């Protein structure tokens, strides 16, 4: 029997986008969200939190016909603005002059997608329906509703889009040969805020992602359309300094004075906020399979929770939706085939972006403040401009190449790394980097190492 009805668990950005794509393919979709409707109840406590959307996310939204959902308030960021400890600033462009990542409102995208879903005749949204159990063989789901009562929902298929702590995924632990790994980073994070100037303008350049790299910890800031900046402090939970060790006002004040003097005057009540917020953990989850009994599948953070250092979690989840959409067409609604192709295509790519995201913490928090690293980026950018067919920097492959799978970007990036190690080891590279001979040497090494693969 052909599937006609689908239950989507979780109305986050990925679940909502998935519902729209399935409904456009002819399915009747019920979306079940545990929390109240965030468009009516302020579950974000008045905070506007922006995250980075890049080409993969845009391209997926475009493909699924909802690109306007993100366009309204997107702010392009063309470079990283590095705030050094001595108060100086340096800039590292993200790519070519016209290439940017986009600061977008997390809630804003979600709300726009929910509006589109709600207006679709084939989609029904159910808020305050918390999944408490799911039968992976039949796709029958049980929800607890606001009154405390339980209801059962039966559809032909079900998707767990219920985020990093997915209940659907936890049920899958009982599934035969289910592989699961979860690892916590040493770092946790809290969000801080920089209010706008009185005239509504931003206190820092809104077209840059601001980073205060301090090796084992860092502060970052992204602009919001109202002129405020959302800041995130990533730091170890234990050790020195850490969220655990900084427990009184004097210690926290001294910490900000020592490490973030240029941010201290801009942040809104950093000491009070630091002491009152519970640091949130960062963890990775990798599982396989992603589908069960040809009836139930995982998508978005539920299938692959990654750390946020590449700004790719939501982009990757949107790409899951776009891939699934293509596979429905390709396999003519044959779900056993679709599920198999979906998990086989997406799993290696999710693993690759998980690995890249872990590595990027070191790049952001430590290397981005290192002059030799900045030189390395400069050489790569110049070479890539001269020989675009031979070289695209790893960051650009991940962020500005919607058609290149993450796994391929990782593979090519590793080979480029080896080539650049040789270039950076050249005597007097700091002095000679702009000389033609360096470009020639890089071209020879790149052709030998990457020519066939690039
Ligand atoms: C600090 C930080 C910064 C980030 N920055 C970026 C960035 O710059 N760029 C980027 O692309 N990504 C970023 N991400 C990742 C991004 O936020 C996630 O990848 C994205 O939100 C995943 O979407 P999702 O819909 O899969 O899951 P979620 O957004 O987690 O949504 C899941 C939904 O399921 C609901 N739910 C959970 N359990 C149940 C249940 N039992 N029953 C019913 N409903 C349930 C939840 O209430 C929620 O609404 C960042 C993440 C963090 C933590």
DSSP secondary structure, 257-310, as one string: HHH-HHHHTTBSSHHHHHHHSPPEEEEEEEEE-SEETTTEEE-GGGTEE--GGG
pLDDT surpassing 50 at residue 126: yes
Average pLDDT value over all residues in the chain: 94
- Whether 314 lines ligand 1, by a CB cut-off of 6 Å, is yes
Instruction: Please give the Cα distance from 179 to 176 (Å, whole number).
Output: 9
Dig out the tokens for 215 from the structure.
Answer: 């090796």
Distance between CA atoms of residues 303 and 291, nearest Å:
10
375: its two tokens: 């030189």
Is the CB–ligand 1 distance for residue 130 below 6 Å? yes
pLDDT of residue 1 exceeding 50, the answer is: no
Ligand 1 atom nearest 222 alpha carbon: 8
Q: Where are the domains of the chain?
A: 5-46+107-181+283-360, 370-450
Q: If you search the block for the tokens 């056993």, which residue do you land on?
A: 336
CA of 85 to the centre of ligand 1 (A): 33
Instruction: Show Cβ contacts of residue 188 under 8 Å, excluding neighbours closer than 6 positions.
Output: 234, 235, 236, 237, 243, 279, 280, 281, 282
CATH class held by domain 5-46+107-181+283-360? alpha beta
Quote the pLDDT of residue 449. Answer: 87
Q: Residue 301 Cα, ligand 1 centroid: separation in angstroms? A: 6
Tokens of 438: 């360096």
Q: What are phi and psi of 363, to 5 degrees?
A: -65, -40
Which region holds residue 92: left if phi is over 0, alpha if psi is between -120 and 50, else beta? beta
What does the alpha-carbon distance between residue 24 and residue 18 come to, in Å, rounded to a whole number? 10
Write out the two tokens for 134: 């799911």
Q: Whose CA is nearest to atom 1 of ligand 1?
A: 308
Q: From the CB of 103, is ligand 1 less than 6 Å away?
A: no
Test site for ligand 1: of 34, 70, 77, most ligand atoms within 8 A of the Cβ? 34
Instruction: Summarize the confidence of residues 227-231 as an average pLDDT.
Output: 94
- Residue 96: what pLDDT? 85
Length of the chain: 454
Calculate mean pLDDT across residues 174-201.
95
- State residue 48's pLDDT score: 57
Mutate to test the pocket of ligand 1, among 8, 10, 144 (most ligand atoms within 8 A of CB): 10
Phi, psi torsion values for 233, nearest 5 degrees: -100, 115
* Average pLDDT score over residue span 270-281: 96
Instruction: Count Cβ atoms below 10 Å from residue 429 Cβ, excluding itself.
Output: 16
- The answer, yes or no, to whether residue 326 has pLDDT greater than 60, is yes
Please report which helix (H) or strand (E) contains residue 29, including its range. strand 28-32
Task: State the Cα–Cα distance between residues 45 and 148, nearest whole angstrom.
Answer: 25
Spatial separation of the C-alpha atoms in residues 430 and 428, rounded to whole Å: 5
Cα 379 to averaged position of ligand 1 atoms, centre (Å): 36
Q: What is the pLDDT of residue 43?
A: 66
Q: What local confidence, expressed as pLDDT, does residue 454 receive?
A: 45
| Integer angstrom CA distances of residue 50 from 53, 102, 221, 306 | 9, 9, 9, 18
| pLDDT tens, residue by residue, 381-417 | 999 999 999 999 999 999 999 999 999 999 999 999 9
- Element holding 267 (H helix, E strand): none
Are the beta carbons of 136 and 124 closer than 8 angstroms?
A: no
- Integer Cα distance of 108 and 49 in angstroms: 9
pLDDT at 451: 66
- State how far the Cα of 254 lies from the Cα of 270, in Å rounded to an integer: 12
**Pairing state between β 218-223 and 229-236:** antiparallel
Cα atoms in the 13 Å half-sphere on the side-chain side of 220? 26
Angle between helices 436-450 and 406-424 (to 10 degrees): 140
Portion of the chain with pLDDT greater than 90, in percent:
87
> 450: pLDDT confidence band, cut at 50, 70 and 90?
confident
DSSP string over 112-135? HHHHHHHH-TTEEEE-SEEEEEE-
Read off φ and ψ for residue 326, nearest 5 degrees: -65, -40
Give yes or no for residue 33 CB within 6 A of ligand 1. yes
For the question of whether the overall pTM of this predicted structure is more than 0.85, the answer is yes
Q: How far is CA 233 from the centre of its chain?
A: 17
Query: Does 2 score more than 90 pLDDT?
Result: no
- The three-class DSSP label of residue 329 is helix
d(C-alpha 292, C-alpha 363), whole Å: 37
CB 9 less than 6 A from any atom of ligand 1: yes
388 exposure class (CB count in 10 Å sphere: 0-12, 13-18, 19+): exposed
pLDDT digits (tens, 9 = 90+) for 68-89: 988 877 999 999 999 999 999 9
Q: State both tokens at 221.
A: 């800031």
Pocket test for ligand 1, best of 51, 170, 283 (most atoms within 8 A of CB): 51
pLDDT in tens, 22-73: 999 999 999 999 999 999 987 665 455 789 999 999 999 999 999 998 887 7
pLDDT tens-digit profile of 337-382?
A: 999 999 999 999 999 999 999 999 888 887 777 889 989 999 999 9
Question: What is the pLDDT averaged over residues 89-111?
Answer: 91
In the reported structure, the alpha carbon of residue 230 is separated from the centroid of ligand 1 by a whole-number distance in angstroms of 17
Q: β-pairing, 5-9 with 28-32?
A: parallel
Are 67 and 412 a contacting pair, CB within 8 Å?
no
Closest C-alpha to ligand 1, atom 2:
308
**Which residue shows structure tokens 């590279």?**
429
* pLDDT tens-digit readout, 147-161: 999 999 999 999 999
């Amino acid at each position: 029997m052909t599937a006609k009805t689908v239950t989507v668990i979780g109305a986050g950005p990925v679940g909502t986008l998935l519902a729209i794509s399935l409904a456009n393919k002819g399915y009747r979709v019920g979306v079940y969200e545990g929390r109240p409707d965030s468009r009516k109840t302020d579950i974000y406590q008045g905070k506007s939190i922006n995250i980075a959307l890049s080409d993969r996310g845009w391209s997926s939204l475009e493909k699924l016909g909802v690109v306007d959902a993100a366009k309204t308030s997107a702010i392009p960021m063309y470079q990283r603005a590095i705030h050094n400890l001595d108060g100086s600033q340096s800039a590292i462009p993200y790519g070519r002059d016209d290439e940017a990542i986009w600061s977008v409102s997390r809630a804003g995208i979600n709300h726009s997608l929910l509006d589109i879903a709600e207006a679709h005749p084939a989609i029904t949204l159910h808020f305050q329906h918390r999944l408490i159990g799911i039968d992976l063989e039949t796709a029958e789901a049980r929800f607890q509703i606001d009154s405390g009562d339980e209801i059962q929902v039966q559809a032909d298929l079900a998707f767990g889009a219920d985020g990093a702590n997915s209940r659907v995924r936890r049920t899958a632990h009982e599934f035969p040969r289910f592989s699961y790994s979860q690892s916590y980073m040493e770092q946790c994070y809290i969000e801080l805020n920089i209010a706008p100037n009185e005239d509504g303008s931003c206190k820092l350049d809104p077209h840059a992602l601001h980073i205060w790299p301090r090796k084992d910890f860092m502060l970052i800031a992204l602009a919001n359309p109202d002129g405020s900046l959302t800041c995130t402090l990533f730091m170890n939970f234990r050790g020195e300094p850490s969220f655990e060790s900084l427990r009184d006002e004097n210690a926290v004040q001294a910490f900000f004075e020592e490490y973030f003097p240029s941010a201290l005057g801009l942040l809104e009540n950093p000491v009070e906020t630091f002491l009152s917020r519970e640091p949130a953990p960062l963890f990775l989850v990798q599982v396989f399979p992603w589908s069960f009994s040809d009836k139930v599948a995982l998508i978005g953070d539920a299938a692959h929770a990654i750390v946020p250092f590449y700004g790719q979690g939501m982009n990757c989840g949107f790409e899951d939706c776009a891939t699934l959409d293509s596979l429905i067409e390709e396999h003519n609604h044959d779900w056993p085939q679709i599920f198999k192709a979906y998990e086989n295509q997406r799993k290696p790519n999710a693993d690759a972006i998980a690995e890249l995201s872990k590595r990027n913490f070191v790049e952001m928090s430590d290397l981005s403040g290192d002059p030799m690293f900045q030189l390395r980026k400069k050489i790569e950018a110049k070479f890539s401009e001269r020989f675009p067919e031979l070289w695209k920097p790893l960051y650009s492959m991940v962020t500005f190449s919607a058609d290149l799978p993450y796994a391929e970007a990782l593979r090519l990036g590793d080979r480029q790394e080896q080539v650049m190690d040789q270039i950076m080891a050249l005597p007097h590279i700091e002095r000679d980097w702009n000389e033609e001979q360096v470009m020639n040497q890089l071209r020879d090494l790149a052709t030998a190492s990457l020519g066939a693969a690039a």
